[in-house]
A and B are shown apart, each in its own frame.
Chain A
Amino acid sequence: MKISLNWLNDYINLKDISLEDILDKLTYAGLEVEEVEDHAKNYENMIVGFVVEAKKHPNADKLSLCKVSDGKEEFNVVCGAPNVATGQKVVFAKVGSIIPNGKFKIEKAKIRGEVSFGMLCSERELNISDNHDGIMVLNPSLKEGTPIAEALEMNDVVLEIAITPNRADALSHIGIARDLSALFNLPLKYPEIKLNESGKKSNELASVEIVDVENCPRYVGKVVTNVSIKESPDWLKKKIKSIGLRPINNVVDVTNFILHEVGQPLHAFDLDKLNGKKIIVRSAGNDTKFTTLDSKERNLQSKDLMICDAKRAVAIAGVMGGENSEVTESTKNILIESAFFNPSSVRKTAKNLGLSTDASYRFERGTDPNITLWAAKRAAQLIQETAGGEISFGEIDEYPKPIIKRSTKLRFSRLDQILGYHIENREVENILLSLGFEINDNSKDELNVNIPSYRHDVEREIDLIEEVARIYGYNKIPEVSKISVTLEEKVDHSAFDDKVRVVLNSLGFYEIIANSLLSEETANRFGKPIHVMNPQSSEMSHLRPSLLPGMLTTISNNLKVNEKDLQLFEIGKVFEQLSETKIKSFDDFKENEQLLLIVTGNSIRTEWFEKDRAFDIHDMKGLVSSFLNNLLPGVTIADNYSENDFAFLDYSFEIVADGKNLGNCGKLKKEICSLFDINQDVFLFQTNLNEIKQIPIPKKAFKDLLKFPKVYRDCAFVLDSNIRSDQVSEVIKENGSNLLHNVKLFDIFQSESLGSGKKSLAYQLEYYDPAKTLTEEEIEKVFSKTVKSVEQKFNAQLRGA
């Protein structure tokens, strides 16, 4: 919001306060100054000059050679204007200044053989008007040497202040001035109202009926008759322009002026266009369309609050007036509307219309119901001043249920407790008084305070404490350099998670962070998602039941930027609804910390020594067992082929630690991949971290080194292709005797030469006895028993026996 410092000075005398101080104090009080436009800076090095002498340039017909004085020195200046003459007071732009229009810098120059130390300016060059017929001739009473910004009163400083949503009271010059008066202990001055009323009474010339009292608690109307609509006077245009608005005409400008002066939005109706000279405040009901004064047709909802006359709607309450009743050049009689509307009603209406106006912005945040009368009178006075006419006697004030004054108490001891610092009682009172609070009652222990009707953000004692602290200055509260805190020992879960990260990193995985909120459609595909009460958008309406969708989106995004080889993981919470109905207790849903690993693309990119090789399920299994062996040293990890028709996996392995199923590892179904535009294989491993954390790590104990050699035997079996190798190794282990310690598959061979539908599996069997060296016979005995059991079980044949 823009605030003009010159305009502020109408309400508070800031002449002795430095700009620096004003900016600092405002910002620290919660009204953050984001930008400062120092207009005087635009006219730096430009002063009022006195033309000591102006004569024709010796070498140019159309130029003049002037001697210009700045009060101390005289300068030679070449000037091309036809109207320059001796004795004038002019705008002298010295060397080093920058001409506002065009932003060009003035340097010492030689013009047709004569040196010129500056330039005399026209109105256009100063951005004052389009006049460029000649130089600007100033009032002779101005003193040479005076900076132009000061002489022409173009020295305003305009602040851009970020007003937080709770400070509706600060959305105007008087609002800001009030905080400044508290911050600098200076008096706040409201403009005086002196009305020159005549003729009839307002309530004889117009009438108001509020049907919807809840949404319009107060409506004030005042009539001014016989006005002439024309351009506003200079002072009013200047004020309107100073904050970046466009002057329209005297009446409209007065209403805009008062909005920015005191924060009360006003509307002016052409009284003669109001049927029955009556205002009815009601909801739109069956009215569905309305044309606002910008000539746009708007769609109404039945609950929108409307201002109507005896026959039809004439304005959208608090948002925008209608074309059918607006003030035009021919308007003679005005009804001024100064009302208080229910903030949430205006907010809903404005939102539905997609409209935001200076008026609706303020009504939404809560205006002052008690300023309505003052503002209507102020408007009448200014309208008469600028547009002539007669102000009718009194006002129409429909205020059926006057809003009760709010009050709260402030205990000095509580103030001390919250701030940890004592502010003198007297000072506390002064701060509150200067902000407009009334002290009802005071004792040495507490104050009883009335809250002004414009402070919708203050309700309780703690709010008063905040006011005292921010005006006193948070910076003035001293620092405490030491505090003592008792620490409680808590189990640190993050250490485990960090270990997971380190191990995965070293295996080549990168961590991602994905959103825990998803759209309903996506979430539903992966489980029973929980609906969030106040979703930010339809894309973030449900809590994720799985880490998969976020990961798949990430893979998809990476594929789009040509990153196809990925090893990624995410550690995150997933949530699932357990109850059929609304969640009422912790038993109705579950929350788990999950880990998801994926690999996709090439495991090996083409190097000079080997070709591309894509990731496959064996890579994934290998990575998972490396990961778990590292995380759970000493724990037995096994993987079992799983027949579970997992919703998303083509095939999978159950990863088991110590007999506990940790999760599944497998290849993602193609249909799921295509949902995310992924056209390459994705292998994943999903596990519940909480479960892994609970697996006890066996204490390390030394195992004696083998004193005797291991013996190896190889065997290959030809059997049906559909027999799984783990089935065969199971049988080998079962029938291997206690001398067999390891079975390793080292070859798979498939060819028609073996017979159709057949394959060959080759195993290396490892035997040893910790107590002695094994003999050939002992090994042969157990080996042939093993071979026979395989042959029998699977109708297999030992190869090359």
Chain B
Amino acid sequence: VWWQPKGKEGRWLEVLGCGMVDPNVLKNVGIDPEKYVGYAFGMGVERTAMLKYGIGDIRILFDNDKRFLTQF
């Protein structure tokens, strides 16, 4: 996504990774990769939450500090 806070310079921000599932992965779980192909994508909710609420350090989401917990 193009991330541009008001009045600041914008930049491209990676928000999720995606792609075609490697045939080896399908084979290892017993699915014939010749018959089936897969598409996968995943997004970290932490990054999006940080952008939405203006949280600067990702570790704060896992510190479990009461002063953080009571804010949401």
Query: Which residues of A does B touch, CB under 8 Å?
Result: 417-418, 460, 462, 510-515, 554, 557-558, 561, 563, 566, 568
**Chain A CB within 8 A of B1 CB:** no
Query: Known: A557-B63, A558-B64. Is A511-B69 also a contact (CB below 8 A)?
Result: yes
Minimum CB distance partner of B67 in chain A: A563
Minimum CB distance partner of B34 in chain A: A414
- Inter-chain contact A561/B67, CB cutoff 8 Å: yes
**Chain A CB within 8 A of B20 CB:** yes
Per CB-CB distance, the 4 closest pairs between chain A and chain B, nearest first, are: A512-B64, A510-B69, A563-B66, A554-B64
Q: Which residues of B contact A515 (CB under 8 A)?
A: 62
Neighbour of A561 across the interface among B23, B37, B65, B70, CB < 8 A: B65
Interface residues on B, range: 10 to 19
Q: Which residues of A contact B70 (CB under 8 A)?
A: 510
Cα distance A692–B61 in the bound complex, in angstroms: 28
- Inter-chain contact B62/A566, CB cutoff 8 Å: no
- Inter-chain contact A462/B69, CB cutoff 8 Å: no
Q: Which residues of B contact A514 (CB under 8 A)?
A: 64
**Chain A CB within 8 A of B22 CB:** yes
Query: Known: A417-B37, A510-B70. Is A557-B65 also a contact (CB below 8 A)?
Result: yes
**20 CB-based A-B contacts, threshold 8 Å:** A418-B20, A418-B37, A460-B23, A462-B22, A510-B69, A510-B70, A511-B69, A512-B64, A513-B61, A513-B62, A513-B64, A514-B64, A515-B62, A554-B64, A557-B64, A557-B65, A563-B65, A563-B67, A566-B66, A568-B64
Q: Which residues of A contact B22 (CB under 8 A)?
A: 462
Minimum CB distance partner of B72 in chain A: A510
Cα distance A769–B34 in the bound complex, in angstroms: 75
Cα distance A166–B20 in the bound complex, in angstroms: 17
B45 to A: closest C-beta gap in Å: 12
Q: Which residues of B contact A557 (CB under 8 A)?
A: 63-65
Cα distance A510–B72 in the bound complex, in angstroms: 10
A18 to B: closest C-beta gap in Å: 18
Q: Which residues of A contact B66 (CB under 8 A)?
A: 510, 558, 563, 566, 568
Q: Which residues of A contact B65 (CB under 8 A)?
A: 557-558, 561, 563
A263 to B: closest C-beta gap in Å: 26
Q: Which residues of A contact B20 (CB under 8 A)?
A: 418
Cα distance A699–B69 in the bound complex, in angstroms: 36
Query: Known: A510-B70, A511-B69. Is A462-B64 also a contact (CB below 8 A)?
Result: no
Within B11-65, which residues are at the interface with A (CB < 8 Å)?
Answer: 20, 22-23, 37, 61-65
- Inter-chain contact A512/B67, CB cutoff 8 Å: no
Q: Which residues of B contact A566 (CB under 8 A)?
A: 66
Q: Which residues of B contact A563 (CB under 8 A)?
A: 65-67
B15 to A: closest C-beta gap in Å: 15
Cα distance A561–B60 in the bound complex, in angstroms: 14
B23 to A: closest C-beta gap in Å: 5
Minimum CB distance partner of A566 in chain B: B66
A559 to B: closest C-beta gap in Å: 10
Minimum CB distance partner of A27 in chain B: B12
Query: Known: A417-B37, A418-B37, A510-B70. Is A462-B63 also a contact (CB below 8 A)?
Result: no
Cα distance A558–B69 in the bound complex, in angstroms: 11
With most chain A CB atoms within 10 A of its CB, the pick from B63, B66, B70 is B66
Query: Known: A418-B37, A513-B62. Is A462-B67 also a contact (CB below 8 A)?
Result: no
With most chain A CB atoms within 10 A of its CB, the pick from B62, B67, B69 is B69
Cα distance A460–B69 in the bound complex, in angstroms: 49
Cα distance A708–B62 in the bound complex, in angstroms: 57
Neighbour of A512 across the interface among B23, B37, B69, CB < 8 A: B69
Q: Which residues of A contact B64 (CB under 8 A)?
A: 512-514, 554, 557-558, 568
A768 to B: closest C-beta gap in Å: 45
A354 to B: closest C-beta gap in Å: 27
A-B contact sample (10 more), CB < 8 A, given A462-B23, A511-B69: A418-B37, A462-B22, A510-B70, A514-B64, A554-B64, A557-B63, A563-B65, A563-B67, A568-B64, A568-B69
Minimum CB distance partner of B62 in chain A: A513
Q: Which residues of B contact A418 (CB under 8 A)?
A: 20, 37
Cα distance A576–B61 in the bound complex, in angstroms: 27
B36 to A: closest C-beta gap in Å: 10
Cα distance A561–B61 in the bound complex, in angstroms: 16
A29 to B: closest C-beta gap in Å: 14
Q: Which residues of B contact A417 (CB under 8 A)?
A: 37
Cα distance A573–B66 in the bound complex, in angstroms: 22
A326 to B: closest C-beta gap in Å: 44
B65 to A: closest C-beta gap in Å: 6
Cα distance A102–B62 in the bound complex, in angstroms: 44
Q: Which residues of A contact B62 (CB under 8 A)?
A: 513, 515
Q: Which residues of A contact B63 (CB under 8 A)?
A: 557
Cα distance A561–B65 in the bound complex, in angstroms: 8
Q: Which residues of B contact A460 (CB under 8 A)?
A: 23
Cα distance A513–B37 in the bound complex, in angstroms: 35
B72 to A: closest C-beta gap in Å: 9
Minimum CB distance partner of A567 in chain B: B66
Cα distance A568–B69 in the bound complex, in angstroms: 10
Cα distance A563–B69 in the bound complex, in angstroms: 12
Cα distance A514–B65 in the bound complex, in angstroms: 12
Cα distance A563–B70 in the bound complex, in angstroms: 11
B39 to A: closest C-beta gap in Å: 9
Q: Which residues of A contact B37 (CB under 8 A)?
A: 417-418
B47 to A: closest C-beta gap in Å: 16
A227 to B: closest C-beta gap in Å: 49
Q: Which residues of B contact A512 (CB under 8 A)?
A: 64, 69
Cα distance A417–B22 in the bound complex, in angstroms: 13
Minimum CB distance partner of B14 in chain A: A32
Cα distance A135–B52 in the bound complex, in angstroms: 54
Minimum CB distance partner of A570 in chain B: B64
A304 to B: closest C-beta gap in Å: 33
A561 to B: closest C-beta gap in Å: 6
Q: Which residues of A contact B67 (CB under 8 A)?
A: 561, 563
